[in-house]
Each structure stands twice: as structure tokens, then as C-alpha cells.
Structure 1
Amino acid sequence: MICPASRNNVVGIKTTSGLVARDNVIVTKMRGSIGPFAKTIRDAAIALSVMAGKSPEDPTSQEIPFESIPDYEKACRLADFRSIRLAIPQNAFQNPFVQSMNLSAIKKDFEIVISSFRAHGATIIDDANYSSYDRINGPSAPQQYVGPAEYKSDMAHYFRGLEINPFNIQNIEDTISCTKSIPAEDYPSRDISYWDTVRKAEDVLSEKVVAGIKEMRYLGGAAGIDQVLDASGADATILPSIICADVPGLVGYPIITVPMGFSPSDTPVTLSERGNLVWDGPNIP
């Protein structure tokens, strides 16, 4: 949700997991979510009021704490920033995912945003760091094996629910086989490397994965977002979209992204791992 919205320069709301039911969607059910893209916050809020709700097909949606979905548009009003506290986990800028990008330009635009908040009276808490960040980005981090295990289970569940399934795909093995055998899938140029990782994953109910899920909830919650908010007394954290999603994503917490700017015209072109797609370059959101 957040990265696509950011890269396309639109508003995106990554909802709390389960606020929008995930029927027939391949997504990690513990922490994955669905939400709206829109040109404005107000439009996204209107869409969210329609999309949100419980479903018998998504057990997590049954945990929604209210019987009727709020009118989120009513929250789109001018606020008194003097009562708002925002925390910046500065060590999120160490995210290895973005080190090849023009991080200095991102920081420069981010500081303009922060200066605007300060000018309107908001309290900004700098260096409200995640104590779990090194572990989250370590080579043996639990999401490295929990994510593939979740996808393996969720994909099988998705295929079982299909009424029309012309290739009779039932699991990740069938998905890989069809991808390799159907010319239109453009294999091996479009490879199956991550799917192969999913294929080899342990059962989602295995002792290792269950323990990994528990650790992820701790890293993202008690040692992550919850810790930062509690220690700083902040109402929310604020970060550039490209580095904001990894910690709250471990526990299915909500994120809102809005456009911030574009990379400078002199930004060097950086190609993706495939080598034929631009990862970073001039005038990219």
C-alpha cells in the first residue's frame, strides 16, 4: 500500500489489519491489509468508510471494536497543531532498502515538512528511535521466514475458494509449475525466486513460525511503535513513506502516506535488480 502510493504520488491509507476484510485476497492475514488510494485525504477517507467492515471470511475483521463503521470524512478537518506531538524514529533512515536512493534529497524535503509542523505549533520529538531496529533488519529476522510461511498458507486458502480455476492451481507448487509452462508468463525473465522461497517455507503452524510471529509482534509493537509512542508521549510517528512501513508492518498497524515531493533533476538514474526498470532518478515521487 504505502510504497505504491508513494511512488505514484497519491494518498494511501494502509489500514489496521482486518479493518477492511481481505476475502479472496492473497495477503498475509496476520499483518497484511487493504486500503484506498486517492488524490486527497478526504477522498481516501470517503472510500475507507465504504470499504471497511466485518466479514465471516476474515476472522481478524471480527475484532473491529465498533458495530457501525465511522464516517472517516468527518475527521478531515483543520486541527490545532499546538496539541499534536509527533515522534521521528531517526534510526529508520538506516533502512538498507533505501541506501541506494537519493536519501539526502528525501531528508531535505522531509525537514521542510517538519519545519512546517513546528511553525504551526506541533511538538516534534527527534531521535525517538526503535530499540528493535537492528534486530528487524538483521539477517535472521523473523519476518525472513514468517512471511513465506504465511504466503504459503494464504495462497492455498485463496485457491481453495476459487469457483473458476481453469488450471486447477491448488498451492504454491502448482503456481510455480504453471508459471514455468505457460509462455505468456515470460519465464524465466519473470522468475519465481520468491515463490521458490515460499515453496520451501515451513508450515505456518510450526513451532518455529509461531515463535517468529510472537517475536515480530514484540519487535514491531512493544519494542517498536508502542515503545516510541509511550516513551515520547507522541500521538504518532512521522517519517518519509519510503522508510516508514517496515516496523508498523510487523504488527499490522495503520499508516497514512501523502505526497511530499519529487527527487531533484540531477538525481542519478539507479536501475532495479532486473536492470531494465528505474528504481531512482530525476523527478520521481
Structure 2
Amino acid sequence: MSSEPDVTALSATELADKIRHGELTATDAVDAHLERLRERDEEINAFVTVCEPEALEAATGADRALEATETRTPSEPRERMEHETDEDIGPLHGVPIALKDLGGLKEGVRHTFGSALFADHVAERTAAVVQRLEEAGAVVIGKTNTPAFGHKGTTVNDVIGPTASPIAPELNAGGSSGGSAAAVAAGMVPVATGSDAGGSIRIPAACCGVYGLKPTFGLVPDDRRPSAFGRSTHHVTMGPITRSVEDAALALSVMAGPHPDDPRSVPVDVEPHSGLERPASEFRIAYSPDLEVFPVEDDVQAVVEDAVQSFAAAGATVDEVRVDHGYGMDELCEAVEPTFTTAMARTATILEESTGIDVRELEDGVPDSLLEMIRRGDAYDLADLARTEPVRTDVFDAVQDVLEEYDALLTPTLSRVGVGLHEDPGIDAWEWTLTWPFNWTGHPVASAPAGLTDRGRPVGLQLVGSRFDDATVLAASAVLERERPWDWLYDESA
């Protein structure tokens, strides 16, 4: 039996280090992950498109670039050089990654938006975030599954069907970044991109037992076209999905930063790695079991509370708090439906303007759930949206009040464990996810693995931080990871 480590079990940080120092080639890394993909993806269905020839060519180029920086003969092991910096070789040099098939445009590669209407569509440009990842040396091996235009919290479409959670394959991977979360959990890639309009990074992270970070709105640029202005009523942002907190910090360090093509991006510098070793004793942690209104089920609550208590056991101050927004569940649902459905109706309008395809007039190739969401969005007017603004403001103020006293606010990610592989919770299932209030507020939020229920179902813990203090969200997440390591989840799913 070989004593060589499983390359697909390595983190992105470990892979980059081994490639940089000649212990592994980029080609070896990409080959191993493509083989893993071939082994697992028939069951999981995470990838819409696999870019094998292009990935292998990019890996070969990465190896040649690294060889060009060396001063040794090819047969000698490469010395670790203290003078090396990321300017020599990018921080993700040779690391395989996957891109969500919504927003993660790569020129010349099929980009379906999760819609059968665009099953043969090929991207004509590369998105700014993807360009940054590739400039950092990452190698794209494929595009991951998403529901049509990311419109719901499960991943299934008419292009390739549903995506399963590798931790519990009878469950859906969650959405809308379900393909990315499943690919990471199954070891097909160590890093994948996601986007989050109502929980679309955090929901699948919880369902697949991985770490997903929704950065502060405006921190990661989104240069989408033809409309660059439609992301602020119900905040949409891109972020990383990884198996470790350190990898999320690494990915965010590459993805974040202002961009001239995004009018919503902000000139704020972050240092994602700055607090990863921060001791638990320095943290003041607030815990809300349900954000006052969400019907969190007992098995989820039990796992979450165990995870929360690990902060106290490590020396942090932990207090249960109220998030005093002042609304009932029905009132919050009445406010979120207009903000989310009008965003989907806006997407349909922009799509018609840019492509001539009016999804409102189609039945074949368009999910009923998407059509219903668009129809509801069309029925709201500016006055309806205006009436949501005081509600959204009160929720924002309530979160701010907590974060004035605490470093982080913890909540469950979902009120119950994930749904069945083919189950559709429906477009009114707002009570299922505790994620979407933070798409109103714009705060940075992560979902970290909290553990498994007695039935082996993964549970996620949300960690909310102050705006533009993404580093503290990562630091608090690192405390949890040290106290309750979750890497064993991936052994279980192997």
C-alpha cells in the first residue's frame, strides 16, 4: 500500500505550498482532482462542464512557470527560499478550483446560468473575480451546478438534474451554489466560487458540511453586464467555498478589492489571515438560537448549541442575546418576498433586453418555480418595495446593536436539516433558512460545519460580523475549527 498522501485531501494552502516548493507538480494536482471527479461525480452530479484539456494545459503552463523561477537542476529538490514572495509565484499557483455556473464567467467555456435555455451558451469574457483567481495561479477544472439563475435554495435544473450532498447523498446539496459546495466536500477541488443572494453560499455549505463565506457586500467585485446596478435592494455577493477557514482566507485575499468595473465595490483593504491565530479568550460571542422568529428544529438546535458552547469551553465570553428587530415571521416574509422576487423579475427583464429571450412567455425550459417567482415580482411596484425599507432598516439596526457589544453573532444556518435530493421546499419556504436577513444588511457571514445530527445529517453554524470586518468572522471561525475540527466529515464522505 502506498504511503503517499491523498492529494485530493490536501487543502488549497497545502497544495500551493507543495507545488511552490517542488514537492508536487501542478499537473499532478490537477490530474488527481480530475480523477477524483471521475470517481465521484456520477453519484453527486456537481459539475455541469469539465474543462479537462484546458485544465491540463494550464497546469503544464504552471509547471513551466515554476521551473523558470528555479536555480536548481531538474533532479535536485527545490530549496525553500525565504526571499520568495507572491510576486514570484501566485498564492494559488497550480491549485485546481471550480467556478459556479452563474457569475463565474470564463471566456470560451460553456456558461449555462443553470438554465436549459442556455445549455449551449459560451462565455465571451472572463469575470473579474475569475481573472483574479487565475492571475493568482489557480487552474479552473470546471463549472458547477446551480438552479436556473440561482433562484432557489436547492440545486436542480433541466441541464443536468439535481446535485447531492456528499455527506448525505440522499439529500440535496442545497442552493444555489450547491455544485460548488458538493465539489469541495467530495474532494473534487479544494476551493470553489459561490454567489449569495439569500443564502446561496451558506445554505449549501451547511448541507454539504463545508465552510462558505459571504463577504461584506461590496468587498468582492462583481463586474456583471449588461447591468451593474441591480444588487443592492437584496444584496448579492460572490465568495469562496472551502473545507478549511485558512483556505477561505486565502481565496478571499485574492478575490477581494475594488474594481473599476463594479460601481458597488468599495476601496476597503482587508487582511483575511490577520486573526486566524487569535485566541478564543479575546472574543465576545453573542448567540441567538432563532433570530427571535425562525422555527429551528430540536435536532438542529442541539448540534448548534454544542458548537456554540465550544467557544465558551475555549475561553470566549458567550452570551445568549435577543436580536430585537420587533417583527414576527409573517411580517418578515411579507418584506422579503418583494425584495427577492423583484430581483428575479429584474433579471428576467435584463435577460430579455440583452438576449431577446423573454422567459415570461416560455414554459418549456423554464422551471415553474422561477416563472412563479417572476410573476410575483412583476406584481410588486415601487410603493411595495418602499414599504419593505423600514423593516430592512430595523433588522439592520438590531444586528448592529448586537455587534456593537460583541465580536460575532452566532445563529443556526438552517432551521432544519437539508431537504431530499428531489424535494422542492417551495418558493415560500422562507422559514427554512436563517440566511436571507443578512442579504438585507450586507454583513459578512460564514456558515461553518457544526456537526451531524443523530441521523448523520450535516448542520451549519452562521457566524456574523461587523461590516468590513470579515477578518473577525474568519478568526472566530478558526476558533471553532480548532475546537471542533470538521475534516473527519470528508473521510466519512469518501
TM-score normalized by the length of structure 1? 0.71
SS at match of 1:195: helix
Is 1:259 the counterpart of 2:458? The answer is no
Greater percentage in helix: 1
Q: Of 209, 220, 235, which residue of structure 1 is paired with 2:385?
A: 209
1:58-104 per-position Cα deviation (integer Å, ceiling 9, x unaligned): 3221xx243xx4342343x22222221111123426414x5xxxx22
Equivalent position of 1:9 in the other structure = 209
Displacement, 1:234?
A: 1.1
Question: Which one has the largest radius of gyration?
Answer: 2
Q: Of 295, 319, 328, which residue of structure 2 is paired with 1:125?
A: 319
**Superposition map of 1:66-105 within 5 A:** 66=268, 69-75=269-275, 77-92=276-291, 94-96=293-295, 98=296, 103-105=297-299
Q: Distance in 2 between matches of 1:237 and 1:264?
A: 26
Q: Distance in 2 between matches of 1:139 and 1:238?
A: 20
Q: Distance in 2 between matches of 1:158 and 1:191?
A: 14
Is 1:241 the counterpart of 2:394? The answer is no
Q: Of 147, 151, 168, which residue of structure 1 is paired with 2:340?
A: 147
Question: Runs of 5+ in structure 2 lacking a partner?
Answer: 1-200, 416-433, 458-491
Equivalent position of 2:238 in the other structure = 34
SS at match of 1:92: coil
Q: Of 417, 440, 449, which residue of structure 2 is paired with 1:250?
A: 440
1:233-284 per-position Cα deviation (integer Å, ceiling 9, x unaligned): 21110112215423322212110111111222288xxxxxxxxxxxxxxx99
Q: Distance in 2 between matches of 1:106 and 1:194?
A: 29
Identity of aligned residues (%): 21
CA RMSD of aligned residues (A): 3.0
- Alpha-carbon spacing, 1:133–1:12, altered in 2? closer, same or farther (3 Å): farther
Displacement, 1:228?
A: 2.1
SS at match of 1:60: coil
1:180-236 per-position Cα deviation (integer Å, ceiling 9, x unaligned): 1x3xx2765x6622122123232xxx2442342x314312211x2112233xx2111
SS at match of 2:341: helix
Q: Of 390, 393, 403, which residue of structure 2 is paired with 1:218?
A: 393
Alignment: residue pair count: 237
8 Å CA contact retained: 2:258, 2:267 = no
1:138-159 per-position Cα deviation (integer Å, ceiling 9, x unaligned): 2763222232223333443466
8 Å CA contact retained: 1:145, 1:209 = yes
Displacement, 1:28?
A: 3.8
Greater percentage in strand: 2
Equivalent position of 2:37 in the other structure = none
